[in-house]
Amino acid sequence: MSKLQNKVAYVTGAGSGIGKAIAVLYAQEGAKVVVSDINESHGNDVVELIKKEGGDAIFVKADTASAEDVERLVAKTVEQYGRLDIACNNAGIGGKQAMGADLSIEDWKTIIDINLNGVFYGCKYATQQMLKNGGGVIINMGSIHSITAVPGSVGYAAAKHAVLGLTRNFGIEYASQNIRVNAIGPGYIDTPLLDKLPSEQKDALVAKHPIGRLGKAEEVAQLALFLSTDDATFINGSYYNIDGGYTAV
């Protein structure tokens, strides 16, 4: 039997990379999936892929930096499918790279708006709906840099560290009401974004992972799936690295 049969999920940043892999896997496991992304073309492509495989999905365009957009995403999910069981707050950006003192206020706010505020909005509005459902699961996308520094990306590291605090607080605040909230911390994942890097820079990233390669989006999706199922009913307020040993060194 499919692990997410009769469940309803949304995934933000689902137009490519990790978000796409999660959305597709959720659908393969029986969930009705709301694919959300700021890129309408990419999002619709994922919906079509899911439908070709026999799944049920719709696209809702949303900018996670906008509280109104995220609130509308949840409302559209419920309007289409009647409930919300799984919220995967995956959307994020690397942001402009600069040493801390050189990062502009505008660039700082952009990174925080998407990587932290967007996750808060997802937790807030998903929880409000899940309380009506009688429970649910929230998956927040952190990073290896939720627990490690990353020189030149102070905004990213700060936001991803904060996602852990957000996850833990929501997890304990609503545990008694059958809502589980957990975070995932991927290492560097081999997505189209990294294809733009010079080969020597990509090789340097590979070298940071003792396993000897970058991760795959599908591997992260498998962890998200596990945390979203009844196999993980005693896991709450937790953070899971999936990094090929990056943070163990």
Contact 45, 17 (CB under 8 A): no
**CATH code of the domain in which 185 resides:** 3.40.50.720
Contact 236, 182 (CB under 8 A): yes
Q: What's residue 196's pLDDT?
A: 80
Question: Which residue type is seen at 4?
Answer: L
On whether residue 208 sits in a domain, the answer given is: no
Please tell me the pTM assigned to this model: 0.97
On whether residue 68 sits in a domain, the answer given is: yes
Helix residue spans in the chain (DSSP H): 17-28, 40-52, 67-81, 105-112, 118-133, 154-173, 199-207, 217-228
| Mean pLDDT, range 125-150, rounded to an integer | 97
On whether residue 204 sits in a domain, the answer given is: no
Q: What's residue 234's pLDDT?
A: 98
Give the residue numbers spanning the domain of 146.
8-190+217-242
Q: Kindly report, residue by residue over 176-233, the tens digit of the pLDDT.
A: 999 999 999 999 999 877 888 898 999 999 999 999 999 999 999 999 999 999 999 9
On whether residue 132 sits in a domain, the answer given is: yes
- Mean pLDDT over all residues of the chain? 97
On whether residue 62 sits in a domain, the answer given is: yes
On whether residue 92 sits in a domain, the answer given is: yes
Q: Kindly report, residue by residue over 61-94, the tens digit of the pLDDT.
A: 999 999 999 999 999 999 999 999 999 999 999 9
On whether residue 202 sits in a domain, the answer given is: no
On whether residue 249 sits in a domain, the answer given is: no
Residues identified as active-site: 156
Q: How many domains does the chain have?
A: 1
Residue 157, C-beta contacts closer than 8 angstroms, at least 6 positions apart: 145, 148, 149, 150
